[in-house]
Amino acid sequence: MSKRVGFIGLGIMGQPMARNLLRAGYQLAVWNRSRPGIEALLADGAAEAENAAAVAAQVDVVITMVGDSPDVEEVALGPRGIVEGGRPGLVHIDMSTISPRVTRRIAERLAEQGIEMLDAPVSGGEPGAVAGSLSIMVGGKQEVFERRRTILEVLGEKLVYCGPSGSGQVVKLCNQVVVALNNLAVCEALLLCTRAAVDPRKMLEAVSAGAGSSWAVLNLAPKMLDRDFRPGFKVEHQLKDLRHALETAHESGASLAGTTLAHQLFAMLAEDSGAEGTQALIKAVEKLAG
């Protein structure tokens, strides 16, 4: 199996993911829209490519980890994009979280050039990216997934094949719905406990040992109490993911009342706190409560 892999998008998630591939012995060609991400990987042994097309031209698999649907479209289909440098047999694995509809459109365009695409968004945040313990939800042709799963196994501990193109993105959006509503539940529990004059840390100690425990209870609630809003996953990214979830719900005829509320609350935060961690949702709940 070839060890030539490309990586495009070297941000909070992309850098540690690319670094794990280097440590696993893959020959990595990288490109990023800004220099700091590139420089960090060059120091670890990666090779720099001039653009996305140049990455695609020298590898067998190219991974993208960028911001949103337009970013993936530009990198994949735009000028000097993957489609220009790729050849039949190349596999594009997009690990961004974007619109399932846009994913399917990109996959169709790439297929016209003989390029396969997997949508493989992840859950686990920066800690999971660093540890190589991400949960990866994969859409596309199953045989392509099986052929390239060894690469994904370097990046994640839980790999789930979800179905045809776009299915991985749908499952990731479901994940984001659960995450956002758990976050909101924690905020409301903290508000209720504080207003009722009970120590919220005692409440968390009790709840975390019972059926109410969750990742948000264990990881976000202590940060809320400490007013620590440093980002692990940013408000602006959660807002984007919920927007895609609501668009997908509209397309499929699903009604998501809780997700709509969470989206509105994150939108309240976006202007002033968009770059903060999603635990900043407590600010919106506090504002509503006066």
Point out the residues that are catalytic: 172
Closest by CA position to 179, among listed 148, 147, 220, 149: 220
Amino acid at the residue 223: K
Q: How far apart (Å, rounded) are the C-alpha atoms in residues 53 and 86?
A: 7
CA angle 88, 91, 97 (to 5 degrees): 140
Amino acid at the residue 4: R
Q: How far apart (Å, rounded) are the C-alpha atoms in residues 22 and 243?
A: 34
Q: In whole angstroms, how far apart are CA 44 and each of 13, 41, 182, 236, 266?
A: 16, 5, 37, 30, 37
**233 in Cβ contact with 277 (< 8 Å):** yes
Q: How far apart (Å, rounded) are the C-alpha atoms in residues 31 and 250?
A: 35
Q: Is residue 76 classed exposed, middle or buried when 0-12, 13-18 and 19+ CB atoms within 10 A define those classes?
A: buried
